[in-house]
Chains A and B, each alone.
Chain A
Amino acid sequence: MTNLVTLSNVTYKRNLKIIIDHLNLQLPQNNIIGLLGANGAGKTTLMRLISGVVPNYKGTIRIGTATTNTARKQVASFSQILTGVQPNARLTEIANYCDTLYSDFSIDVFEKIIASLDLDGTEKLSALSKGNRMKCVLAVTLARRVSLYLLDEPFDGIDSMTRKRLIKSMLTWKPDNATILISDHHVEDIANILDQVVILKHQMVISQKSAEEIREKDGLSIETYYENIYEGGVDHDQSHDNL
């Protein structure tokens, strides 16, 4: 398997507090990878680091051939994309804005996704319910045609029917060979679509394993595996077998 993303020895501190500590991680291309960890484990920070929006960190982060923050912003689509967008903007205006900002943005894909999710492009962002806002975030993020998608809690606080539709959109619109890194509080919601799980604890990656292997070799659900690792402590599983 070809690696798309490589983080070597990445450390990040904010206000003298260590958020990410000498982290090493490799993500293959054409995979859907679940990023798991308790609140404060560093999931969002890790995604921000990879996406290229964090200015001061130590170590190297590479997506394909892109190593600088500027270069990585061009090849990764991050779900915090709507941060800074005018709340009273209409969805079509947001799409046009993203189209000028990102050369890889596809208005066509955006329109197809919002239509499939029953969103009305003339609506204002500020008028959307939480569920509809999540749909919009996913549509904008996936409308960029890139090799890496970073989805931070894309199903947070939405009902199970909507979640299922968002997951289907994700499966439909993921370009061949693209990788999706996705975090979710409820592991069981996304367990069926994952190739791998990466577990973050104490500012480090404490486990990275194939989802099917967890079921096949350990006989565990992803959720149980995650809970066991988390409660078992850092030294429980340092293995990165068969990746």
Chain B
Amino acid sequence: MEFNDKIPIYYQIKQYIYTEIIISHLSPGDKLPAVRQLALDLTVNVNTIQRALSELIDEGVLESKRGKGNFVTEDETILMKLREKVIETQLQHVYDRLAELQLSPEEMITALQNYIAKRKDDNHD
């Protein structure tokens, strides 16, 4: 995994785990690798992994079972909200940038539709 060096590593690890869950590389009820193993896989500090995991546990995305490890929650509501939240975060970036360029909401929708159409064409070529 390549990290952006201007963004906290723990934050990027959280995003990475969110993505793994949303694209079902990690399924509800799956056990996460041990903390030290994750630190080695991502070549980061154990403390950084622990911070990311403890925030994910606080958010309910992961469940910590004493002596057994950390598991992806099986709570459908939390997983649905997670997906919405991650999508919203991405849209927020795009919205803020376009608003900066003084696009109206209608212009944003048109621009997005045109862009999606263009990408579809590109993929068909």
Partner of A195, one of B3, B6, B36, B45: B45
4 further A-B pairs in the complex, CB-CB below 8 A; given A188-B5, A212-B51: A212-B8, A212-B9, A212-B10, A215-B9
In the bound complex, do residue A193 and residue B45 qualify as a contact, i.e. CB atoms below 8 Å apart? yes
Nearest CB of chain A from residue B10's CB, rounded to whole Å: 6
Does any Cβ of A come within 8 Å of B19's Cβ?
no
Cross-chain pair count, CB within 8 angstroms:
52
Which of chain A's residues have a CB closer than 8 A to the CB of B47?
Answer: 30-32, 195
Distance of A193 Cα from B10 Cα, bound (Å)? 11
Distance of A121 Cα from B100 Cα, bound (Å)? 62
In the bound complex, do residue B6 and residue A164 qualify as a contact, i.e. CB atoms below 8 Å apart? no
Nearest CB of chain A from residue B87's CB, rounded to whole Å: 23
Distance of A216 Cα from B7 Cα, bound (Å)? 6
In the bound complex, do residue A171 and residue B40 qualify as a contact, i.e. CB atoms below 8 Å apart? yes
Partner of B43, one of A174, A193, A216, A222: A193
Nearest chain A residue, comparing its CB with the CB of B9: A192
Which of chain B's residues have a CB closer than 8 A to the CB of A94?
Answer: none
Interface residues on B, range: 10 to 19
The 4 closest A-B pairs by CB, nearest first: A221-B5, A212-B8, A215-B8, A216-B8
In the bound complex, do residue B43 and residue A164 qualify as a contact, i.e. CB atoms below 8 Å apart? yes
Does any Cβ of A come within 8 Å of B46's Cβ?
yes
Interface centre among A172, A194, A212 (most CB of B within 10 A): A212
- Say what secondary structure dominates the interface of chain A: helix
Which of chain B's residues have a CB closer than 8 A to the CB of A223?
Answer: 5
Nearest chain A residue, comparing its CB with the CB of B42: A192
Interface centre among A192, A195, A211, A222 (most CB of B within 10 A): A192
Nearest CB of chain B from residue A89's CB, rounded to whole Å: 31
Does any Cβ of B come within 8 Å of A167's Cβ?
yes
Distance of A194 Cα from B48 Cα, bound (Å)? 9
Distance of A120 Cα from B40 Cα, bound (Å)? 24
Q: Assuming A192-B3, A212-B48, is B43 touching A167 (CB within 8 A)?
A: yes
What are 9 sample pairs from A and B whose C-beta atoms fall under 8 A apart? A30-B47, A32-B45, A167-B43, A172-B40, A192-B45, A193-B44, A212-B8, A216-B8, A224-B6
In the bound complex, do residue B39 and residue A171 qualify as a contact, i.e. CB atoms below 8 Å apart? yes
Q: Among residues 1 to 16 in chain B, which have CB atoms less than 8 Å away from a CB atom of chain A?
A: 3, 5-11
Does any Cβ of B come within 8 Å of A191's Cβ?
yes
Indicate with 1 or 0, residue by residue over A19-61, a CB within 8 angstroms of chain B CB atoms: 0000000000011100000000000000000000000000000
In the bound complex, do residue B6 and residue A220 qualify as a contact, i.e. CB atoms below 8 Å apart? yes
Does any Cβ of B come within 8 Å of A130's Cβ?
no
Nearest CB of chain A from residue B65's CB, rounded to whole Å: 21
In the bound complex, do residue A222 and residue B5 qualify as a contact, i.e. CB atoms below 8 Å apart? yes
Does any Cβ of B come within 8 Å of A233's Cβ?
no
Which of chain B's residues have a CB closer than 8 A to the CB of A191?
Answer: 5
Which of chain A's residues have a CB closer than 8 A to the CB of B36?
Answer: 171-172
Which of chain B's residues have a CB closer than 8 A to the CB of A30?
Answer: 47
Nearest chain A residue, comparing its CB with the CB of B7: A215
Q: Among residues 29 to 67 in chain B, which have CB atoms less than 8 Å away from a CB atom of chain A?
A: 36, 39-40, 43-48, 51
Which of chain A's residues have a CB closer than 8 A to the CB of B3?
Answer: 192
Does any Cβ of B come within 8 Å of A168's Cβ?
yes
Does any Cβ of B come within 8 Å of A219's Cβ?
yes
Which of chain A's residues have a CB closer than 8 A to the CB of B46?
Answer: 171, 174
